[in-house]
Amino acid sequence: MQFNPRSLPQMIIIFYFLTLLGLLVYSYSQIDLNLTLLQTPWFLWFQNAMIQLGYFSRPLSTIIFTSLIVLLFIFYWKLPALDSPWARPGRIRNWKLVFIGVGLLALLSYPAFSHDFFNYLFDARIVTHYGQNPYFLKALDFPADSWVRFMHWTHRTYPYGPVWLLISLAPSLLGLGKFILTVLNFKILFVGAYLICCYIINKLTPKNLWLFALSPLVIIEGLVSPHLDLVMLAFALLAVHRFRWLNLLLSIGVKFSTLTLVPIFFFSKKKWFYDGLIIASYLGALIQVFTREILPHYFLVPLGFSALSNNKKWHYLSVVLSLILLLFRYLPFLYTGEWVTIKLWSF
């Protein structure tokens, strides 16, 4: 049987989505031991099997996660090559379906490595369910609430900007007080932010869209285990595209680290504008690193702006840094069950 080169992209995409499906299934190995998502017998069996893998078969769990990360980075390199002119006739015809597929698979995943995600839910719940102010009250102030039992950062009050609080009220209200529905609503919000980022990057520098949209760091830190840095990035990219100061203000109002972008926006007509945004966003990430610890999601914003530049050095830095951050952050935890906190400095 003769090989048809036109079928190569479809075959690779199928294997890519099988890898994403594997990541989706694997994410449930990190379900909190105090949380039962569904009471149906088949799901309870599935949840118990995944908990056995994630908590009590740690070497195997680490191998599986490492394999998934390696495969994602291989596809990260291979898929864009299929869209190059020399790859004709075997080209990917509709990238939009690929990115939408990525978002849909991530939508169904468990927020495996994001303790912050559950705080987003509860911070909004303090407003929508209790009618209180999360800037002054914390999860520990509501000990009778059943959601508190599977949270980790119960001791802190609301640390983010007011824009994120306002945005998070909508999925919380639409959740009608139901945990699963609220989780799904918040995941939809993050998938929407991802698609907005893809849209803006495609408008500004379409040939570099793959650098952001297929990034394993974006998929894991922005979609599977969502962090609000993705929403902050969406507003920052919108600021580059139109309504500059309004969208930049909204980005800062989500999380204050994009304050470092303000001086660069005064020079939006300069040739070095995109490079300036990258440098400023790395500065914002490094400020968080030096004041807290090294966390992968801090670098979502620099990665997003790197996709706007045609300077390959920024692209290489994004890929290498993403791989290092994901492996060094998660492999020790998966193998030992303990988070390794890496601080460069403490003010």
Is the model more confident about 3 or about 7?
7
Phi, psi of 23 (to 5 degrees): -65, -40
Average pLDDT of the chain to the nearest whole number = 90
Q: Is residue 285 part of a domain?
A: yes
pLDDT tens track for 152-189: 888 899 999 999 999 999 999 999 999 999 999 999 99
pLDDT tens track for 283-305: 999 999 998 889 999 999 999 99
Residue 121: pLDDT band with limits 50, 70, 90: very high
Q: What is the pLDDT of residue 344?
A: 63
Q: What is the pLDDT of residue 39?
A: 87
Q: Which of 195, 201, 230 lies closest to 99 in space, CA to CA? A: 195
Q: Is residue 198 part of a domain?
A: yes
Q: Where are the alpha helices (DSSP H) in 292-340?
A: 300-306, 312-336
- The Cα–Cα gap between 64 and 74 comes to 15
pLDDT of 274 higher than 60: yes
- Spell out the residues 6+ positions from residue 185 whose beta carbon is closer than 8 angstroms to its own: 170, 171, 172, 174, 175
Residue 90: pLDDT band with limits 50, 70, 90: very low
3-class DSSP assignment, residue 32: coil
Q: Which of 111, 83, 85 lies closest to 13 in space, CA to CA? A: 83
- Spell out the residues 6+ positions from residue 313 whose beta carbon is closer than 8 angstroms to its own: none
Residue 150: pLDDT band with limits 50, 70, 90: confident
- Is this prediction's pTM over 0.85? yes
Q: Is residue 122 part of a domain?
A: yes
Q: Is residue 81 part of a domain?
A: yes
pLDDT tens track for 56-84: 999 999 999 999 999 999 999 888 776 64
Q: Is residue 345 part of a domain?
A: no
- The Cα–Cα gap between 333 and 347 comes to 26
Q: Count CA within 13 A, CB hemisphere, residue 169.
A: 13
Query: Do 231 and 195 meet the contact criterion of CB atoms below 8 Å apart?
Result: no
Q: Is residue 22 part of a domain?
A: yes
Q: What is the pLDDT of residue 83?
A: 61
Residue 97: pLDDT band with limits 50, 70, 90: confident
- Spell out the residues 6+ positions from residue 209 whose beta carbon is closer than 8 angstroms to its own: 95, 198, 201, 202, 307
Q: Is residue 23 part of a domain?
A: yes
pLDDT of 345 higher than 70: no
Q: Is residue 341 part of a domain?
A: no
Is the model more confident about 345 or about 196?
196
Q: Name the residue range of residue 264's domain.
A: 5-336
- Total number of domains constituting the chain: 1
Q: In 10 A of CB 243, how many CB atoms?
A: 12
Task: List Cβ<8 Å contacts ≥24 apart for 163-167.
Answer: 163/235, 163/250, 163/252, 163/253, 163/254, 164/120, 164/228, 164/231, 164/232, 164/253, 164/254, 164/255, 165/123, 165/124, 165/127, 165/134, 167/231, 167/254
